[in-house]
Amino acid sequence: MEFDIKPVSKFSINAQEIWSYRELFYFFTWRDIKVKYKQTALGMAWAILQPTIMMLVFTFLFGTLIQSGSDSTLPYAIYVYSGLMLWGIFSNGIQAAGNSMVTNANIIKKIYFPRLIIPLSSILVAVFDFFMTLIPFVLLLFYYHVEIHIARLIIFLPFSLFIILITTIGTGCFLSALNVKYRDFRFVIPFLVQFSLYSSPTIYKIDSITNPTIKFILSVNPISVAINIFRSAFDATAIIDYTLVGIGTGLAFACFVLGIYYFRKTESYFADLA
């Protein structure tokens, strides 16, 4: 019997191999969740408190100003919170994934397993936090008596999660690979997180931007596309521009492919540099 051993394509996530290591994948994910909230008095409640506190601060500072200059009937608190929910996946995901290879250097040096498991498991922790934030979000919707379009929610919520996930995976894998070789990137990641907050309609409305070029760039940002799609399920005044959605989705795929490619290209020397 002959075995033909070939290197994995640099454009492939190699889902079959990751599936064969699914128990290790689960272990890394659950370990990261426990480590994140270990020795905290409030534990996993911080996943809810962080966006809630940010929502209260932004609502207090900008709520009246932004709400008065908009035709939307959606309460500003819900507008901000819904944006922070999806932005939280990206921000928490790339921060955790970007430092994940360096943090797990000792394990990488000792045994073989698909290296992609490490940044992917870090990103899944951010997804776990997202589902935790759904609890107060539903309560907010009932408190403000916001009508939910069930059909849109069933379709658009998974689609918006898909866009934000492939964007986060691509960016997170790219940064994790860069951070192994260039440790300066651990200082760059916080700036990238802040930039992503202000380059997406998390706390402001893109319609308030007057420059058409800047408005277009912000509108096709994959994070913006995911947030706008999600909001359209409970914002009666939201209008979806499917051209912008198509461009934003294409950019998300490009980010995913480039991130995976660079990770695969450089993973051969992770054990030496980590």
Would you say residue 5 has pLDDT above 50? Answer: no
Residue 35 located in a structural domain = no
Residue 9 located in a structural domain = no
pLDDT digit string, tens, across residues 101-132: 888 888 887 788 888 899 999 999 999 989 99
Q: Are 174 and 264 in contact (CB under 8 A)?
A: no
Residue 130 located in a structural domain = yes
The more confidently predicted of residues 261 and 42 is: 261
The more confidently predicted of residues 67 and 245 is: 245
User: How many structural domains are present in the chain?
Assistant: 1
pLDDT band at 239 (very low <50, low <70, confident <90, very high): confident
pLDDT digit string, tens, across residues 177-215: 888 888 777 788 888 888 888 888 888 888 778 888 888
Residue 230 located in a structural domain = yes
d(CA 274, CA 260): 18
d(CA 62, CA 254): 34
Task: Give the helix/strand (H/E) hosting 187.
Answer: helix 185-198
Would you say residue 72 has pLDDT above 80? Answer: no
pLDDT mean over 128-151: 88
d(CA 82, CA 201): 10
What's the pLDDT score for residue 265? Answer: 87
What's the pLDDT score for residue 8? Answer: 56
Would you say residue 274 has pLDDT above 60? Answer: no
Structural domain of 129: 43-68+76-273
Tokens of 265: 């290209």
pLDDT band at 4 (very low <50, low <70, confident <90, very high): very low
Residues above pLDDT 90, as percent of the chain: 29
Tokens of 193: 């997180």
Residue 56 located in a structural domain = yes
Residue 28 located in a structural domain = no
The more confidently predicted of residues 110 and 87 is: 87
Residue 2 located in a structural domain = no
Residue 122 located in a structural domain = yes
pLDDT digit string, tens, across residues 163-186: 999 999 999 999 998 888 887 777
Mean residue pLDDT of the chain comes to: 84
